[in-house]
Chains A and B, each alone.
Chain A
Amino acid sequence: MGTRGWLESWPVWRQLSGADPLGRGVAAESPRQRAIRPRTADADRVVHSVCPYCAVGCAQNVYVKDGEVIQIEGNPDSPISRGRLCPKGSASKQLVTGPQREQKVRYRAPYSSEWTDLDLDVAMDMVAERVLAARDKGWQNHDEHGRPLRRTMGIASLGGATLDNEENYLIKKLFTALGAIQIENQARI
């Protein structure tokens, strides 16, 4: 940088030499200010999504950079939401990227006051075994009139209103094959 360049980098010089003598605009801009652009411009990709809160179904654009969500905002193309989001929808970046989210499987042993960590695959095996055991424990083959029931009262489930259709489909299908009938969700509440 020559002397002139050095001088140019000094706002006072730019005040004296340029169109902003009072130093309230261009003269006072820093290099960072001149380079500013929206962080979404640096996104690797924009992914189409839908707000996970209420059932209006506002379309969201999820901006992703380096495998992380850097911004979520409304998709203006949506005939439902026209790009708008309520406070909850507007907070959904915090919802998915915030520190409140758990990342590890946690296990509370009977009679304990503590959580401990558990390997995911081990936990899955434990749950599979317990499902079959609970199923057997609550199994009912026939009712008092001898009519077939083929069901278990040992397992119950609650949830699904914020899950995907495909997920609910598998849940209902698997539980039905297991004979579990007490499968419920928020729609009952």
Chain B
Amino acid sequence: MRLAANSLSGPVEDVAGQAGHREHPPRMGFFTDTSVCIGCKACEVACKEWNEVPEDGLNLLGMSMDNTGSLGASSWRHVAFIEQPRRLARHDAGIAGLPVGPSGTEATAGIVESALRRAPRGGGELGTSPYEPGHVPAVPLADGPERTDFRWLMMSDVCKHCTHAACLDVCPTGALVRTEFGTVVVQQDICNGCGYCVSACPFGVIDRRPGDGRAHKCTLCYDRLRGGLEPACAKACPTSSIQYGELDALHERARGRLEALRASGVAEARLYGEDATDGVGGCGAFFLLLDEPAVYGLPSTPVVASRDLPAMWKAAGVAALGLLAAALSAFMEPRER
């Protein structure tokens, strides 16, 4: 058997082909344009209705209008809400001239953060299990300069369907597979809940569902795609913030959109996950962001750990030989009395 080039990292021309699919459809994906997201969360609900994903907790999180918190085993779409005392290009928030004091965003975010510190798995179960922040110590509103501007960023996050998907690489049962559309899905009849994919994902997307025991994440509505339908979230999205289609076409559209936004003064606009040379070989679901990725809870420079797998095995080999040598030498000493 021969392995194709860039099996573990780097750009891949034909992801489905690399997974053995022949005569497959073009690679399909999502382009999520956060600049037109209205934060309605239709994507979250449409996803749950179609995929019969269970409710994951009726808790007020205090993260602006976000009460989902993060992607998880029971939240395959997650709309992030970020309030910032900053300006968004030519957008005018109408703060100027009002009798305002310092912004409250730092203090409120601090309260949420300190509550998360107490949460199970450090808040990592948001999107998977209920979590009630309860009462947390108040953070006094800081003194500081008057706020002069405001913007409210919203972004519907989703599984990235990486070109080099760490979850897929590490899955020991073959439950995770690359489909003919180039997407990555969990075969629920196979997954035995080993949890390896959870630790492997550099985006914190996939998780194990308590009570069910298996790993769950966005399937990019594989079943719908098989029937020629578009994913439920993209179909519902009122403002076409979530766009579904052939990845190449989406890339082109995204670049056009980026140029238009930059031309209109949104200098911070950037694409995230579209670069085939990044640490995961580019994503099947990519985004147009209006701030740095970390602000949205995304990793700045995601890397598929398997990229370094050969080196790791090499180190392990050396260590193993070392162990063998140590054992040998332990017995090579002259026999004691």
Do the two chains touch directly in the complex (Cβ atoms below 8 Å apart)? Answer: yes
A19-B44 in contact (CB<8A): no
Q: B236 is contacted by which of A11, A37, A74 (Cβ under 8 Å)? A: A74
A32: chain B residues at CB < 8 Å are: 187, 189
- Residue from B19, B222, B226, B236 in contact with A24 in the complex, judged by beta carbons closer than 8 Å: B19
- For residue B27, CB closer than 8 A to chain A, the reply is no
- A135 contacts the other chain (CB 8 A): no
Of chain A, the residue at the smallest CB distance from B178 is A25
Q: Given contacts A87-B40, A90-B46, is CB(A36)–CB(B18) below 8 Å? A: no
Contact string, B161-197, partner A, CB cutoff 8 A, digits 1/0? 0000000110000111111000001010110000000
Q: Are B20 and A30 in contact (CB under 8 A)?
A: no
A15 to B19, CA, bound (A): 10
How far is the CB of B38 from the nearest CB of chain A, in Å? 9
Contacts of A23 in B (CB 8 A): 174
**A30-83 with Cβ < 8 A to chain B:** 30, 32-33, 36-41, 71-74, 83
Does A28 lie at the interface of the complex (its beta carbon under 8 Å from any beta carbon of B)?
Answer: yes
Picked from B16, B49, B189, B235, the residue with its CB within 8 Å of the CB of A25 is: B16
Taking a contact as CB atoms under 8 Å apart, the answer to whether B236 and A73 are in contact is yes
**Inter-chain contact B20/A89, CB cutoff 8 Å:** no
Are A71 and B50 in contact (CB-based, < 8 A)?
A: yes
Asked whether any CB of chain A lies closer than 8 Å to the CB of B7, the reply is yes
Q: By the criterion CB–CB under 8 Å, are A73 and B46 in contact?
A: yes
Given the known interface contacts A38-B223, A73-B236, A85-B236, the answer about A33 and B46 at a Cβ–Cβ threshold of 8 Å is no
Among candidates A28, A39, A87, residue contacting B44 with C-beta atoms closer than 8 Å: A87
Report the nearest B residue to A93, measured CB to CB. B49
Chain B interface residue count, CB cutoff 8 Å, equals: 42
A86 touches B235 (CB 8 A): no
CB distance from A59 to the nearest CB of B (A): 13
Give chain B residues whose Cβ lies under 8 Å from the Cβ of A16.
1
Q: Are B40 and A86 in contact (CB under 8 A)?
A: yes
Q: How far is the CB of A132 from chain B (nearest CB, A)?
A: 45
Query: Do B223 and A91 have beta carbons less than 8 Å apart?
Result: no
CB distance from A18 to the nearest CB of B (A): 6
Asked if A172 CB lies within 8 Å of chain B CBs, one says no
Interface contact B3-A30, CB-CB below 8 Å: no
Q: How far is the CB of A65 from chain B (nearest CB, A)?
A: 14
B214 within 8 A of A: no
**Residue numbers in B under 8 Å from A30 (CB-CB):** 187, 189-190
A21 interface residue, CB < 8 Å from B? Answer: yes
- Chain A nearest CB from B312 CB (Å) reads 16
B298 at the interface (CB under 8 A from A): no
| Interface residue A180 (Cβ < 8 Å from any Cβ of B) | no
Q: Are B174 and A27 in contact (CB under 8 A)?
A: yes
What's the nearest-Cβ distance from chain A to residue B255, in Å?
Answer: 25
Closest to B182 in A: A25
CB-defined contacts of A38 to chain B, threshold 8 Å: 221, 223-224, 226-227, 229
Who on chain A is nearest to B47 by CB?
A: A90
Question: Is B49 a contact partner of A94 (Cβ separation < 8 A)?
Answer: yes
CA distance A29 to B50 in the complex (A): 22
B79: nearest residue on chain A (CB-CB)?
A87
Q: How far is the CB of B267 from chain A (nearest CB, A)?
A: 31
B322 CB to nearest chain A CB (Å): 29
**Does A161 count as interface, using CB distance less than 8 angstroms?**
no
Residues of B within 8 A of A73 (CB): 46, 50, 232, 235-236
Return the contact of B177 from the options A28, A37, A41, A84 (Cβ within 8 A): A28
9 more A-B contacts (CB under 8 A) besides A24-B178, A38-B224?
A: A21-B1, A25-B179, A27-B174, A28-B177, A28-B190, A71-B49, A74-B236, A84-B238, A86-B238
> 8 A-B residue contacts at CB 8 Å?
A16-B1, A28-B174, A30-B187, A36-B222, A73-B235, A87-B46, A89-B42, A89-B236
Please name the 8 residue pairs, one residue from A and one from B, whose CB atoms are nearest each other, closest first.
A25-B19, A20-B20, A28-B174, A38-B227, A26-B20, A21-B1, A19-B20, A90-B46
